[in-house]
Amino acid sequence: MQLSESVTLNAPNADFVDKFKEIADAHSLKFRRSSDHMIHCVFLRGNPLSTTIHPSKPIEIPLDSLTSKPQVSMARKIHHRATHIANTQGLRETLPTLNMAISGQEPMKNIDTLPPLPAPGQPLMFADLFAGCGGLSLGLSLAGLNGVFAVERDKMAFSTLSANLLERRDVPVPQFSWPSWLERKAWGIDEILEQHPLELSKLKGKVHVLAGGPPCQGFSFAGRRLESDPRNQLFEKYVEMVKALQPAAIVLENVPGMKVAHSAKSWKDLGIQLKPQSYYDKLVESLDKVGYQVLGRILDSSLFGVPQKRPRLIVIGVRKDLARHLHGGATRAFELLEEARVKQLQELRLPEMVSSWEAISDLEIEYAGTRPCTDPSSRTGFQELAYVGPRTPYQTLMHQGANGPMDSVRLAKHKPDIRERFMRIIQDPECAKGVVMHAVQREKYGLKKHRICLMRADNPAPTITTLPDDVLHYSEPRILTVRESARLQSFPDWFQFRGKFTTGGSQRTKECPRYTQVGNAVPPYLARAIGLAIRSLLEEATAAASQQTVTEAEQEILAIA
């Protein structure tokens, strides 16, 4: 601890002076006795503070009120001797009562305590930021967590989330317990932070997990990866919400590109060499400053029962007062996530890998047949699949809880020459399946798209994107339906999608139709495993903290005795 200036101590007796000397020596403090029997020592740099210490019951002062952390910690033995120092958030320093006279400042008032976790048997509560159509929310709900509120700016995406998690439908997951002060509509995170700061502060202790996935287009390798893309700054709003709610744990999902540093071009032009920093690095740095230990790893969704090769950056953070009770801190979250992955496959009776055929073969035209599209959001003239029932265990699992006909099974209306071209691609033995077609193959078939992939029936699907014509069906000359894309993302059949099917032109950046909603979503089964891991993580941290409290109390009693 770097100290300066002087503090006046009114010592009541010689014994107290001797005990104070022990503390002073341990901290390398200098002091001397004055003629008026007062003790002078140095105190916090930058604080013109005069302090008189009287023996009484100790109080707790948060470390973040100090200019820097002490470098030495001492075991607390009795009431006047101790300074107990722990981790930064919720870590407290115990000192005798201080009567403070601070020049130019008000005396310290009440000290905030960190929000508690729910009592045993009570569910963890979560909020979802940048929620999209609700893939992450659905997965956390399937893991036994309960939603409080969700933030999504797009009206179509929010309408889908609302239809499944807010409108009291008869579905196999709990509905959100939406706050009365927050209108049930599409919100931007900046709007809620600006308009409801007081109401958000009152949710401290009531939102235990804060989840979210800021828009990824600015980080994605499929895009232009512009450092100036305003969507890249939205994670800062995420951090602001973390500060407002102080959840016990945080979860963030994004594309792997978030871990890749943007080049600081403007600085290079000036001849200044700077080490480039990724937005993941900036996120970790920002969350560390507000009291969270954070770790991110790239995971493949196909390992969690999702029939899709979809690498994603999963970031998990734990409040530091809890992380210090975990062996390995935030690393422990990913150990528990692996345990949750194995447990999930066992519980759901899923193989290590679910193939495309196992996921969507019951949605083939040849198997199900077609009928005129009845979806109210569809234009006339389209056909849809006439569903007859599941063919595989995964399909049976997906169809549980689906009462009545599925939505979003509308088929694309391809022209005859397009269908003929797609069939030639499917039947071409030289056309690689399961990977993006290379330039020679695209030129051979007159394809102008730079990204198009023919599925393999016996493998998980390639990454489902927001563009419906990025992926071709493995056996039928067509693109996928919204429902097939949702199946490959692990959305259950009871989950309804709302809004337009597609959009184009200038509206592409302004609207979030069904294909885009599905392509942007976190796979619910990946989110389910994350939810199970977070539950185990917080239970473990809470149990360890309780045991430490008991142990310290026993040691204190023995020391006094």
Residue 225, exposed/middle/buried by CB under 10 A (0-12, 13-18, 19+)?
middle
DSSP 123: P
Strand partners, 93: 61
3-state secondary structure of 159: helix
Distance (Å, whole) CA 460 – CA 434: 8
Residue 193, exposed/middle/buried by CB under 10 A (0-12, 13-18, 19+)?
middle
Q: Choosing from 41, 133, 216, 453, which is the catalytic residue?
A: 216
Question: Is there a catalytic annotation at residue 216?
Answer: yes
Cβ–Cβ under 8 Å, residues 76 and 92: no
Q: What distance lies between CA 214 and its chain's CA centroid? A: 9
CA distances from 551 to 61, 392, 556, 557, 561 (A): 22, 53, 9, 10, 15
Tell me the H-state helices in 400-523: 416-427, 439-444, 482-488, 514-520
Which of 169, 31, 9, 5 has its CA nearest to residue 96?
A: 9
Angle between helices 279-289 and 234-245 (to 10 degrees): 20
Distance (Å, whole) CA 308 – CA 360: 12
Residue 217 CB partners (closer than 8 Å, separation 6+): 223, 229, 231
CA distances from 366 to 360, 361, 386, 400, 428 (A): 12, 9, 11, 23, 21
Tokens representing residue 546 in the block: 């309780």
Residue type, 152: E
Strands in 394-494 per DSSP E: 453-454, 471-472
User: H/E element holding 62?
Assistant: strand 59-62
Residue 482 CB partners (closer than 8 Å, separation 6+): 408, 409, 410, 468, 497, 501, 514, 515, 518
Distance (Å, whole) CA 246 – CA 213: 18
CA distances from 336 to 118, 139, 349, 540 (A): 20, 16, 20, 10
Residues marked active site are found at 216
